[in-house]
Every structure is written in C-alpha cells, then in structure tokens.
Structure 1
Amino acid sequence: MTIRAVVDGVGHYLPERVVPNSHFETFLETSDEWIRTRSGIERRHFAAEDQTTSDLGTRAALAAMADAGVGPEDIDGILVATSTPDLTFPSVATMIQKELGMTRGFAFDVQAVCAGFIYALANANALIVSGQATRLLVIGAETFSRIMDWTDRSTCVLFGDGAGAVVLSAGEADGTSQDRGILSTDLNSDGRYLDMLYVDGGVSSTGTSGKLKMQGNLLFRQAVEKLTTTAEAALEKAALSDDDVDWIVPHQANIRIIQGTAKKLGIPMDRVVVTVQDHGNTSAASIPLALSVGVAEGKIKRGDVIVSEAIGGGLAWGAVVLRW
C-alpha cells in the first residue's frame, strides 16, 4: 500500500475591487492595448486598504474546507505560500489558524515567491506521505499591490491580489501512475539570478518592505526553458508523458510564457487553464486560483492528470504532477 496526498477540496477568494487596464492610463504612459499585447492581462483585483494577506487566505481556506466538507477540527496543519505577509512575524499561517478557530496542529509559511505554492504542495506532500499529517490546508495568498512601484509601468500593471487553497488528505493507493493524488514533485533554484526579480527592501538590509524590481525580458527567456524542463522532469518521475496530461495549470504570470511553455511541451492551449486575463500575476496565489476556477468552470474533473509549474524570484522554480 502507498499513501498519496489527495486533493479533497479547492476554493479561492478575490478582493471586491476590480482594476481594469484603463485605470493605469490615468497616471502612466501606457494603454490597455499595450498591457494586453505584452501580458494578456485585462484586469486584476486589488485588496481594500483594510484587507491583509491573512484575510484573503482565510476566505480561500474556508471555501476549500467547505468544498471538502471538513472543519478546522479535521485539519492537522496549515501551509501558506506568500511573499507579502501581514507582519514580519508571526507567520500568515498562524494568523489564518486563529481565524479558523483551529487550536491544534501546526502552521507555517513557505517563501518561494511565484513558485511558492508548488514548494508548499511539495512540503505538504512530504508531510502526508511520511505520516506526520493526515489532512492539510495548503494556501497561496498575496497582496502584491502593497509592494508595487506605481511609477514603473513595466511592473505595476502586471500584478494583482488574491488567494487560493486546497485541502490535501492522505489516501491509500497502489503506488502507480493511475493513483489519485500527488504523483511527483520537482523543485529547483539558482540564486545567481537574484537580480532578475527581487524586492529592494527587507528587515536586515533597509528596514523597509521595499518595491518590486524586475528585468522582464531576461526573466522571460529563463522562464520558458526552466518551466518546460521542470514539467518534463516531474512527468518522468510520475512515469507519465505529455500525452497523459489532461490539463496544464500554470503560474499565471504572462500569456506569452504560458503559450511558449505549452508549445514546448507539445500541449495545445485548449488543454491549458488560463486566468491571467482576469487576475494578473497573483504570485503564489495564481495556481490555486486557477485550479479553483478550472473546477468551477467544469474543466477539471476527477481523474484528470494535471501538471502545474511556476517560476519566481530566487530564481526558484518547480512543478507538481497530480491526478485530481
């Protein structure tokens, strides 16, 4: 018998404020056409002034728990992927734990920027497979609007706020590629590429939260190659091929990166869940958001093989293969 980490529930939350591309035309030298052509983004959501990352994450967690039919007493632990925490410490995860009324188990954050949810899934999978937990909440939540430089038209138009979550539960399986649950993970990083995507502030350097900085053209070239390689590596570990994939649910950073990766994998765009047009880049929240939307729209169904991949600052990148 093999233990697999199986997705039992999924949910998401988006702030009420919807910001169309035309908003940026009022204070930047840009246009709706320029943004759509280069990124595929048409709109994004921004958190209200009194909303925090933990607020968004809590709502997504409640939605996922309702979908799974479980309560806080059924959860052994919470993993939150975020780069925009409410406070330097404690973790967003412990704040969500409090809001859910969960008084047992553990909670901690994972920081791998846009690859954060992939890293969190890999950690959650290891905890379940090793027997240290039976049911976990894995959340991606971000308020990237808090770290934007609103004078930089090349970055501030790309990002949005939101949260997504899944409930992972231990399930008995046969140990084959036909099992439900997480079949493989592949994680990578290379700190030499730090300057491509970073925030120019921090506790021990400037004492400020800082603003996001990105070299988009250089990052684009790295992204397509690394996302393709990690997806292929994860599929090989799972003893599956491109032909077995029902859906790619990628990090929603840029439509051109999504299209380029799908093309290299030989998977048509009608088998790719795309939400970047509605959400922008929500960093660690983008994959669970896309999973939740894919299920809500009736695309993702039980038994489907899904490949999710992401790349973010670090650089950090990785992929997960799972059967829904």
Structure 2
Amino acid sequence: TAACSGFVFALSTAEKFIASGRFQKGLVIGSETLSKAVDWSDRSTAVLFGDGAGGVLLEASEKEHFLAESLNSDGSRSECLTYGHSGLHSPFSDQENADSFLKMDGRAVFDFAIRDVAKSIKQTIDESPIEATNLDYLLLHQANDRILDKMARKIGVNRDKIPANMMEYGNTSAASIPILLSECVEQGLIRLDGSQTVLLSGFGGG
C-alpha cells in the first residue's frame, strides 16, 4: 500500500489508463481503518488517526485536465512511519505485541513534509503552465494543521487556499484527500466544471 500517498498514486495511475485510450472511465477510492492499526494505550499516536473513505470517478475528456505531477518515494526513511503488521495482530488472534501497531516519529515526518513535500509541490507547479498564486485550492494530506501552515508559507499561497478537516476526522491516510475534496465540492468551494485549478498532494507513509 502507498498509505498516505495512496490516493494520489492511484489517481495518477487511473489517469494514465484513461489517457492510453483503452479505458473511458476509472474509479479511484481511498479507504482506511486506522483504528485497527493504532495502540489505544499510546495516546501520543492513537488520538491522531481516524477511519474514512472517499473516491472520485474519472472520465475521458477531449480537454487535458491533469497539468503536471511529481511522484516520489524515499525508502531510506521507512522507519519514520511504520506499521509492523504481524500475524499476532489479527481478528483471528487474541494475542498482540508492540510491533503490531502503527508507530511514528512525528518530528521526522514534520521535517520531511516541510522540506521535501514543499519542494515536490513547487516542482509540480513549475512544470505546469500556471503560477502558485493562480491556484484556486491546494488539497493536501490532512496530517497536521501546523504542517499546512508551514506549507502555505513555503509555497507562497494564502493559507485560506488550503482547506483542513483533520480536526473532524483525524489523519485518515489515503482517504484524507478524497474526503476533503468531497466536502469542498459540497460546500461550493470547488466546482467540477473545469473552471478551477486545484493541486493535490499526499505525503507521509507510502
């Protein structure tokens, strides 16, 4: 699984299938049940995560709607966010051990997001035909509100262009972006008529 980055990776894959001309539609769903992955006795991580699901339906169009992308993985930081899912942590066993739960180095993840994710976003913008200030909204993975504040400053956009909902659901990993997108559409912030430019960014595990 690509975890927190999963929805963006899957969206890119679906877009490539449709662009090939062999497929007309693609359904992309991000779904997580992180309540099964956290150690509820560890309040430093358990309270941060949530369950959720969201999705989008893509359809072939004569107009190009995907302007640019930047996909990256860094295996050297795999220990910053781990879920050592062992056979003991399963619905078929009453036994558990510490390696069965999600563990996170919050400081390392924060530093990674501020430095490398901001760089990836800037690269994507540079490869597109628009400027950062012309983006209508940036839908970023809902990991931490302070990360979103820092990202806005690093990228050079107004903070009000980066919606947030992690205070309602927590970090829902691969589900965070499609859930946020759905809410923005429902609230009338984002229109599905092709008149706006929206940037998506997933980061963290994955």
- Partner Cα separation in structure 2 for residue 160 and residue 252 of structure 1: 11
Contact 2:25 2:58 in 1 (8 A): yes
Q: Secondary structure at the match of 2:46?
A: coil
Pick the aligned partner of 1:159 from 29, 49, 56. 49
**Identity over aligned pairs, percent:** 39
Kindly provide the amino acid, as one letter, of the partner of residue 130 in structure 2: L
Distance in 1 (alpha carbons) for counterparts of 2:132 and 2:183: 23
| Other-structure match for 1:123 | 13
Partner of 1:308: 200
SS at match of 1:249: strand
CA contact (8 A) 1:112 1:312 kept: no
2:95 maps to none
SS of corresponding position for 1:188: coil
| In structure 2, distance between residues paired with 1:222 and 1:194 | 12
**1:285 alignment partner AA:** A
Decide whether the 8 Å contact of 2:109 with 2:204 is kept in 1.
no
Q: Which residue of 2 aligns with 1:230?
A: 120
Match of 2:155 in 1: 265
Shift of 1:128: 0.8
**Contact between 1:251 and 1:309, CA under 8 Å: does it hold in 2?**
yes
Give the C-alpha shift of residue 271 in structure 1: 1.1
Pick the structure with more helix per residue.
2
- The answer for unaligned runs of 5 or more in structure 2 is 91-99
Rounded to whole Å, the distance in 2 between the matches of 1:228 and 1:241 is: 15
Structure label with greater radius of gyration: 1
In the alignment, the residues of structure 1 paired with residue 113 and residue 156 of structure 2 have an alpha-carbon distance, to the nearest angstrom, of 17
RMSD between aligned residues = 1.3
The structure, 1 or 2, with the larger RCO (C-alpha pairs under 8 Å, 6+ apart) is: 2
Pick the structure with more strand per residue: 1
Shift of the alpha carbon at 1:208? 4.1
Residue in structure 2 matched with residue 240 of structure 1 by the alignment: 130
Amino acid at match of 2:204: G
Question: Deviations 1:112-166 (Å, cap 9, x if unpaired)?
Answer: 1100001001101111111231101100011100111111111100000111110
For the residues of structure 2 that align with 1:259 and 1:308, how far apart are their CA atoms?
16
Q: Which residue is 2:168 aligned to?
A: 278
Please, what TM-score do these two structures have when normalized by structure 2? 0.90
Counterpart selection for 1:249 from 123, 127, 139: 139
| Residue equivalent to 1:198 | 82
Shift of 1:272: 1.2
Are 1:199 and 1:213, in contact at CA under 8 Å, matched by a contact in 2? yes
After superposition, the C-alpha distances for 1:1-25 in whole angstroms (9 at most, x for unaligned) are xxxxxxxxxxxxxxxxxxxxxxxxx
Q: CA deviation at 1:259?
A: 1.0
Q: Indicate the residue corresponding to 1:219 in structure 2.
A: 109
